[in-house]
Amino acid sequence: MSNFEKKFGKYAIPNLTFILIGCYVIGYVMQLINASFLNFLTLDASKIILHGQVWRIFSWILVPPESLGIFTVIMLFFYFSIGTTMERTLGTYKYNVFIFRGMFLTVLASVVCFGICYFFPKAMLSVFGEQYRELASAFFEIGSKEDQMEVIEKVFEQLAPVFSTYYINISIFMAFAIVYPEMQVLLMFVIPIKVKWLGILDLVIMAYTFFVGDVFTKFSVGAALINIAIFYLTIRNLSHLRPKQVIRRAQYVQKVQTAKIATKHKCAICGQTEKDNPDMEFRFCSKCNGNYEYCSEHLYTHEHVK
């Protein structure tokens, strides 16, 4: 990673969390103007591969993961806070890698899901979930490949919104919990709780969603879990990013810088300098054998060096 950072670090995008939230704002504006237009922006791999709608590889980032409300606004402020904190902790380049890796894995999950549906349609359509049983059962009465693809496209059109930034946002919080496990937040603005417990709760919920969800949900959640796993395996070897290590390193740097500050006067008895007490007077003792300087408190009370 360090070698890649040396080569490509200059291309890292600063304030990436702010840009992502800006994308959500654009999406919410589109939602208010014409909500149906967002259907042309979702990460629908069937439309990308079969119809060449390549803009969907990027435009799905504009699709808000939730409807607009006061709780959503609060969560956006919260994610802006933890996102900027993570960028300062990891560095702009590593934070970019984490976010874009999550996006890449989500796009890859959508494409792989479509590929499996394309080559093994019967096996996939039979496990789409109860709400799509009727649509899936119709597939078995269809013979031609074109008709089969039409059924698959209909299913993808309805389930494509599952591939969104929702689980990427959760992965940001889980990454934050890995780096700052002991930090406390106010749950519901009242209950103090450590971030690590919320991170564990998110992990349990995502694992449950993975096992009980439909095929599309499994791929979407799986992409986020893989991103978190990669992050954990890389961050555990970077002990210098831990909060305690950051504080200890900052204290060490401060001590070193303090030690480097030169002083003009220093008492040979108490070690006091003009930095400690700007009003203190210092004098050399002519009766001491050597170059000894004393503060006014010890100038006449010290034992002379022979």
Alpha-carbon gap, residue 178 to 172, rounded angstroms = 10
Per-residue confidence (pLDDT) for residue 243, from 0 to 100: 53
Report DSSP state, residue 10: G
Per-residue confidence (pLDDT) for residue 138, from 0 to 100: 55
Alpha-carbon gap, residue 200 to 95, rounded angstroms = 21
Per-residue confidence (pLDDT) for residue 126, from 0 to 100: 55
Which residues of the chain fall short of a pLDDT of 70?
A: 1-2, 121-148, 188-189, 236-263
Per-residue confidence (pLDDT) for residue 102, from 0 to 100: 92
Per-residue confidence (pLDDT) for residue 250, from 0 to 100: 58
Residue type, 223: A
Q: Within 13 Å and on the Cβ side, how many CA atoms surround 306? A: 1
Per-residue confidence (pLDDT) for residue 106, from 0 to 100: 92
Alpha-carbon gap, residue 166 to 63, rounded angstroms = 10
Per-residue confidence (pLDDT) for residue 113, from 0 to 100: 84
Residue type, 12: A
